[in-house]
C-alpha cells in the first residue's frame, strides 16, 4: 500500500513534489481572474517574507524585527523597490540578507515565472489557464510562445547576473576578502538587474563610495538598463542578426529609454554642476550625472547623496521615476511606452490629424485608452498617498514626501533619507504604493473589480466642449 504523506506528522513536512502538486491543484481549482491570482500570489509571498524577516535568526543581533517593518522590507524586496526602514547591510544577518535576495529574484522575474520553471523541470504540462496567467504576468498581447519566453527569461537573468557578479567580485576583491567580495558581487548583481536597489555597504551609503569608479558605474548601469528594457526587447536584440528587424515595441522602448537617459544626464549635470558634482573630477561628474539619470528607471542605487540634491533636481528625478522603464521588465512606473503613446497623441492633436502614428504604425484606440487610464490611475495613487503621508508626517518637507511616494510607486527605491523616520501609517501607505506600482494600477483595479461583461449596446454620441 502506498504511504500517504501527512503534513508535519512526527516532524516530517510535505515532500517537495507533494507541495508542487497541491499548488498545481489549487491553480486548476481556482476560478479567479489572472489579475486577482497575481495580486494574491504577490501578497502571500510578501506576508511569508515578512514573517521570515521578523524572526530572530534574520537579524544580526538576534533580536528580531517588528512585523510591520519586516513586511515593509519584504514588500520593498518583492516589489523590487529598495526603500528600507533599517540598514540592510548592518541590521540583517547573512540569512536575512539571503531571504531578501531571494525575494528580489522572485519578485523581479515574477513568482509565476519561477513556478513555471519548476514545473518545466519536473516535466509538468503547462495548462491553458496557467498560460493565460503568464500572459498577464509578462504583460504580453497573446499566449503565443509564452513558455518559450519564460525559458529565455530565466536564461537571460542567470547569465547576466552571473557575468556581473564576476566583474563585481574582481573589483571588490581589492577592498575586502575574496569570499565577502563574491557574496557582495552576487547580491548586488541580483539587486541591480532586478532594479531593486538594495545594498550591503551600510549607513545607507549605496554606491556613493564608488562615484567615480568606471567599472562599478558601468556594470551597475548596464544591469539597470538591461533589467529595465524588458525580456521581450532583449530577446529581439539577440535575434536581430537572424531576423534583421525590430518590432514597434522594441523600437519605442529603446528610443525613449536612450532619450530619457541622455536628456536626464544633461539636466542633472547642469543643475548639480555647482552643488553635489562640484567636488568631483570631470570623470566623476559625467559618471555621476549618467548614473543618477539611469537609476530613476526604477533601480534604487545612487552614487551621490539624493537628499543633498537641489529641489529642482529632485523634482526632475521625480518625473523620471514616475515614467519608469519598459513593460514586461523588472521595473515599475507608467512605462516608457505609455509616455510615447501620450506624447504621440498630443502631437497628433496639435497637428490636427486623426490617427496616432509611431514609426509608421497606427496605434489602436484601445492602446491609447489604456495609456490614459494607467497615467490617470498612477497620478491618483501618487496624489492620495502624498496627501495622507503629508498629514501624518507634517514635520517632513513636502518635496521629500512626494519624492518617497513616487519612488515607492515607480518601485525605484532611491530616497532622500526620510523613510526610516516615517510614522507607521506612512510606512503602511508606502508599502501599499510599492505593491500597486509593482503589479500596476490597472492590474490591481481589474483584480479588485468584478467580472467584466461584454456590452451589447452603444449609447448615442454626445457633444462635450473640451478646453
Range with top average pLDDT, 149-163, 271-285, 322-336, 427-441: 271-285
What average pLDDT does range 105-123 have in this prediction?
62
Return the pLDDT at 6.
42
Return the pLDDT at 188.
94
Cα 35 versus chain centre, distance: 17
Q: Would the pLDDT of 166 be above 80?
A: yes
Residue 131's nearest CA partner among 143, 145, 148 is 143
Distance CA 293, CA 228 (A): 13
Give the residue numbers spanning the domain of 197: 16-445
Q: Would the pLDDT of 460 be above 90?
A: no
What average pLDDT does range 437-464 have in this prediction?
71
What average pLDDT does range 22-51 have in this prediction?
70
Return the pLDDT at 7.
44
Return the pLDDT at 134.
55
> What helix, strand, coil percent values describe the chain, rounded to 5?
65, 0, 35
What average pLDDT does range 78-98 have in this prediction?
90
Return the pLDDT at 145.
57
Q: Which of 92-96, 135-139, 420-424 has the lowest mean pLDDT?
A: 135-139
CB 335 within 8 A of CB 326: yes
Distance CA 211, CA 68 (A): 33
pLDDT category of residue 43 using cuts at 50, 70 and 90: confident
13 or 145, which is more confident? 145
Q: Which residues of 257-269 are buried (b: 16+ CB within 10 A; e: fewer)?
A: beebbeebbebbb
Return the pLDDT at 34.
63
Distance CA 379, CA 326 (A): 18
pLDDT category of residue 119 using cuts at 50, 70 and 90: low
Residue 297's nearest CA partner among 385, 380, 227, 231 is 227
Return the pLDDT at 4.
44
Return the pLDDT at 295.
92
DSSP alpha helix (H) spans, 195-335: 214-229, 231-238, 240-243, 248-272, 282-294, 311-323
Secondary structure (3-state) at 196 = coil
Residues belonging to the chain: 467
The reply to whether 3 falls in a domain is no
The reply to whether 1 falls in a domain is no
Return the pLDDT at 125.
60
Instruction: Give the whole-number percent of the chain exceeding pLDDT 70.
Output: 81
Residue 353 region, left (φ>0) first, then alpha (ψ -120 to 50), else beta?
Answer: beta
pLDDT category of residue 17 using cuts at 50, 70 and 90: low
Q: What is the pLDDT of residues 285-340, one digit of tens each?
A: 999 999 999 999 778 889 999 989 999 999 999 999 999 888 877 777 899 999 99
Residue 329's nearest CA partner among 203, 217, 194 is 194
277 or 462, which is more confident? 277
Residue 217's nearest CA partner among 318, 278, 304, 320 is 304
Range with top average pLDDT, 27-36, 140-149, 219-228, 263-272: 263-272
Return the pLDDT at 365.
84
Return the pLDDT at 120.
53
The reply to whether 460 falls in a domain is no
Distance CA 433, CA 389 (A): 12
Return the pLDDT at 8.
41
On average, the pLDDT of the chain sits at: 83
With cell 521578523, the residue in question is: 54
The reply to whether 359 falls in a domain is yes
Q: Would the pLDDT of 407 be above 80?
A: yes
Structural domains counted in the chain: 1
Residue 44 Cα distances to 77, 134, 439, 449, angstroms: 14, 18, 14, 20
Distance CA 217, CA 334 (A): 26
Read off the pTM: 0.84
358: β partners: 361
pLDDT category of residue 123 using cuts at 50, 70 and 90: low
Cα 286 versus chain centre, distance: 26
92: β partners: 59
Return the pLDDT at 40.
79
Return the pLDDT at 290.
95
Q: Would the pLDDT of 22 be above 80?
A: no
Amino acid at each position: 500500500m502506498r504511504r500517504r504523506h501527512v503534513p508535519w506528522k512526527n516532524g516530517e513536512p510535505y515532500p517537495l513534489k507533494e507541495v508542487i502538486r497541491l499548488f498545481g491543484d489549487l491553480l486548476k481549482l481556482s476560478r479567479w481572474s489572472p489579475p486577482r491570482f497575481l495580486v494574491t500570489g504577490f501578497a502571500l509571498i510578501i506576508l511569508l517574507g515578512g514573517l521570515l524577516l521578523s524572526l530572530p535568526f534574520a537579524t544580526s543581533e538576534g533580536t528580531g524585527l517588528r512585523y510591520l517593518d519586516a513586511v515593509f522590507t519584504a514588500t520593498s524586496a518583492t516589489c523590487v523597490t529598495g526603500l528600507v526602514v533599517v540598514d540592510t547591510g548592518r541590521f540583517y544577518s547573512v540569512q536575512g540578507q539571503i531571504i531578501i535576495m531571494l525575494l528580489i529574484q522572485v519578485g523581479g522575474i515574477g513568482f509565476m515565472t519561477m513556478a513555471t520553471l519548476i514545473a518545466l523541470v519536473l516535466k509538468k504540462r503547462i495548462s491553458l489557464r496557467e498560460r493565460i496567467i503568464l500572459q498577464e504576468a509578462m504583460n504580453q498581447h497573446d499566449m503565443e510562445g509564452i513558455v518559450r519566453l519564460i525559458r529565455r527569461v530565466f536564461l537571460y537573468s542567470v547569465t547576466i547576473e552571473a557575468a556581473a557578479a564576476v566583474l563585481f567580485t574582481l573589483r571588490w576583491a581589492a577592498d575586502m576578502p575574496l569570499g565577502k567580495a563574491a557574496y557582495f558581487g552576487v547580491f548586488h548583481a541580483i539587486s541591480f538587474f532586478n532594479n531593486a536597489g538594495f545594498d550591503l555597504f551600510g549607513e545607507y551609503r549605496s554606491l556613493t563610495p564608488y562615484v567615480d569608479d568606471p567599472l562599478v558605474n558601468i556594470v551597475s548601469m548596464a544591469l539597470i538598463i538591461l533589467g529595465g528594457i524588458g525580456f521581450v526587447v532583449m530577446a529581439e536584440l539577440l535575434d536581430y542578426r537572424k531576423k534583421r528587424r525590430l518590432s514597434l515595441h522594441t523600437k519605442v522602448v529603446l528610443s525613449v529609454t536612450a532619450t530619457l537617459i541622455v536628456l536626464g544626464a544633461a539636466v542633472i549635470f547642469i543643475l548639480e554642476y555647482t552643488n553635489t558634482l562640484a567636488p568631483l573630477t570631470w570623470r566623476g561628474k559625467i559618471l555621476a550625472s549618467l548614473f543618477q539619470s539611469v537609476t530613476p528607471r526604477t533601480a534604487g542605487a545612487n552614487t551621490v547623496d539624493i537628499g543633498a540634491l537641489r529641489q529642482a533636481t529632485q523634482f526632475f528625478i521625480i518625473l523620471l521615476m514616475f515614467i519608469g522603464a519598459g513593460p514586461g521588465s523588472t521595473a515599475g512606473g507608467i512605462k516608457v511606452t505609455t509616455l510615447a503613446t501620450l506624447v504621440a497623441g498630443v502631437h497628433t492633436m496639435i497637428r490636427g490629424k486623426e490617427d496616432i502614428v509611431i514609426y509608421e504604425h497606427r496605434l489602436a484606440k484601445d492602446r491609447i485608452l489604456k495609456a490614459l487610464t494607467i497615467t490617470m490611475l498612477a497620478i491618483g495613487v501618487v496624489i492620495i498617498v502624498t496627501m495622507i503621508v503629508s498629514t501624518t508626517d507634517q514635520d517632513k518637507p513636502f518635496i521629500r514626501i512626494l519624492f518617497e511616494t513616487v519612488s515607492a510607486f515607480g518601485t525605484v527605491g532611491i530616497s532622500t533619507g526620510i523613510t526610516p523616520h516615517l510614522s507607521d501609517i506612512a510606512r503602511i501607505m508606502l508599502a501599499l504604493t510599492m505593491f500597486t506600482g509593482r503589479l500596476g494600477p490597472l492590474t490591481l483595479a481589474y483584480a479588485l473589480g468584478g467580472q467584466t461583461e461584454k456590452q451589447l449596446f452603444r449609447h448615442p454620441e454626445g457633444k462635450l466642449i473640451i478646453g
